[in-house]
Homo-oligomer: A and B are copies of this chain.
Amino acid sequence: MTELLSDTARESLLPPLAENGWTHDEKADALCKTYEFEDFTEAFSWMTRAALWAEKWNHHPDWRNVYKTVEVTLTTHDVGGISSLDAKLARKLDSL
């Protein structure tokens, strides 16, 4: 069952993500990061890999691609904020 991250979980999960460039949109309670690639093919290739994980985990990013940049926003609408799934997907995106 997906739940909103507890304060304790936030204290352990969010700082490592912040170190990797994820910011916390407090108003939306979402994780945000802008990835920059060499060009469009690199950006879209990464999106394709990310899409497979998103679909596999049934948890999808809100993302915008403009040529070689991809702006990603992760939140869990069902719980109204960041869940462990968002943290997990964020780590996966960083690893691709």
Residue of B40, B41, B63 near A65 (CB, 8 A) is B63
Is the CB–CB distance between B40 and A54 below 8 Å? Answer: yes
Closest to A40 in B: B60
For the complex formed by this chain, how many copies does it contain in all?
Answer: 2
Chain A positions 41-55 with a Cβ under 8 Å from a chain B Cβ: 41, 44, 47-48, 51, 54-55
- Most chain B beta carbons < 10 A, residue from A61, A63, A65: A65
Is the CB–CB distance between B55 and A40 below 8 Å? Answer: yes
Closest to A58 in B: B40
Rounded to whole Å, the gap between the CB of A31 and the closest CB of chain B is 15
A interface residues with partner B (beta carbon < 8 Å): 40-41, 44, 47-48, 51, 54-55, 60-67
9 A–B pairs (Cβ distance < 8 Å), ordered by A: A40-B51, A40-B55, A40-B60, A44-B55, A48-B48, A61-B65, A62-B64, A62-B65, A63-B65
